[in-house]
Chains A and B, each alone.
Chain A
Amino acid sequence: MEPGDSTKQARAAAQLRKGVLEYCVLALMRDRPRYGVELLHALGESGALATGQGTVYPLLSRLRRDDLVATTWQESASGPPRRYYALTDSGRAALDEFTRVWPGFRDAVDAFLTASPPSPGDHS
């Protein structure tokens, strides 16, 4: 393996993550509000979406500014109060839209990646 290959692979993963991470974060809030550490724990468990946890906070901040999520403080039985993130109506709409287009997107990419190129002259 040439030096730099792992960097390129990391970049490809980072590009992919950048595109889908916010929808995964929104999806985590689909059923109930979640607080930050909880969200990051779930993302970390996933493996592929694991990232420096701190980078998710700027994303959450933008989702809040874009009115896709709303936050509320809730007291906790243990430790400090938690800031809970919940979907707003527009956040839910954005998540629904992504949920609708994702299967077609995923299948199209899969088709490109798995298709064996037809050999020249093969007309069967």
Chain B
Amino acid sequence: MKTSADPVRDYLAAVGREASALPADRRQELLADLAEHIEVARAERPGAAIGGILAELGDPRAIVATALAEAGPGARVRSGGDAPVPRGRVHPLVPLLMLTLSLLLTMVFPDHPGPLVGVLFRITGAVLLCTSVHWTAVRKTTGVLLTAVVPSAVIGVWNLSGTGSLSDSGAFAANLVTLALLACASAWLWRVRRTRLG
């Protein structure tokens, strides 16, 4: 226990730190109540040591835990360490945009750096989609198939079979069809995402 010139201020500061998950008005109210209590207790027991009065008030963590419980789950302003908040909360648009843009980039910059960035976007988008909390496992699998696996397979087959066999306009049309598939799959994923979490 470190000694301090002002144990009351240290105590209230500890409560304030612990109470950062409380809404500001509740936090202020709690601190005011405790400060009043200390003031009144000191006035009534002039001989008592301040350490004893603070010890009777108890552990700041226990007080704040009670305050959080009394405030109800809705009153929490930000997630504490024990809050049931899903991990890896990425906005659902991020993987969808990355997956769709991957092909668009390849189309707009066909030589450099389109293909490289496109592949990176596709991989990152697929990973983000798989780890996202916004979709069920089945929808994630469908989404990854439609937005990453199928386009990659089509492009792979395309490259292996030789690009010379089709005219530029044919290649453009094929890209457009794939892009439409990506856009539709992304739109579907966007529509079936979970909007309410927890």
Given A79-B39, A80-B39, A80-B40 in contact, is the A55-B33 Cβ separation under 8 Å? no
Main secondary structure of the interface of B (DSSP, over half): helix
Q: Which listed residue (B36, B37, B41, B58) contacts A51, Cβ 8 A?
A: B58
B130 on the A face (CB < 8 A):
no
Interchain CB contact under 8 A, A37 and B70: no
* Complex interface: chain B residues within 8 A of A79 (CB): 39-40, 42-44
**B67 part of interface (Cβ distance < 8 Å):** yes
**A63 shortest CB reach to chain B, Å:** 9
Q: Which of A51, A61, A78 contacts B33 (CB 8 A)?
A: A61
B5 to chain A, nearest CB (A): 22
B54 CB → nearest A CB, Å: 9
**Proximity bits, A50-69, B CB within 8 Å = 1, else 0:** 01111101111110000000
Report whether A54 and B57 are in contact in the complex, using a CB–CB cutoff of 8 Å.
yes
Chain A CB within 8 A of B59 CB: yes
> Nearest chain-B residue to A78 (Cβ)?
B43
B139 at the interface (CB under 8 A from A): no
B26 within 8 A of partner (CB): yes
Complex contact B41–A37 (CB within 8 A): yes
By the criterion of a CB under 8 Å from any partner CB, how many residues of chain A are at the interface? 22
Specify which chain A residues have a CB less than 8 angstroms from the CB of B40 in the assembled complex: 35-37, 79-80, 82
**Does A92 count as interface, using CB distance less than 8 angstroms?**
no
Q: Are B70 and A52 in contact (CB under 8 A)?
A: no
Q: Is the CB of A36 within 8 A of B43?
A: no
For A58, list chain B residues within 8 Å (CB). 30, 63, 66-67, 69-71
Q: Is A30 an interface residue (CB 8 A)?
A: no
Kindly list chain B residues whose C-beta atoms are within 8 Å of the C-beta of A76. Answer: 43
Bound-state CA distance A93–B140 (Å) is: 53
Q: Could you tell me which B residues sit within 8 Å of A by CB distance?
A: 15, 26, 29-30, 33-34, 36-37, 39-44, 56-60, 62-63, 66-67, 69-71
Chain A residues packing against B (C-beta within 8 Å): 35-37, 40, 44, 51-55, 57-62, 76, 78-80, 82-83
4 more contacts with CB within 8 A, not counting A37-B40, A62-B70, are A52-B58, A55-B63, A62-B71, A78-B43
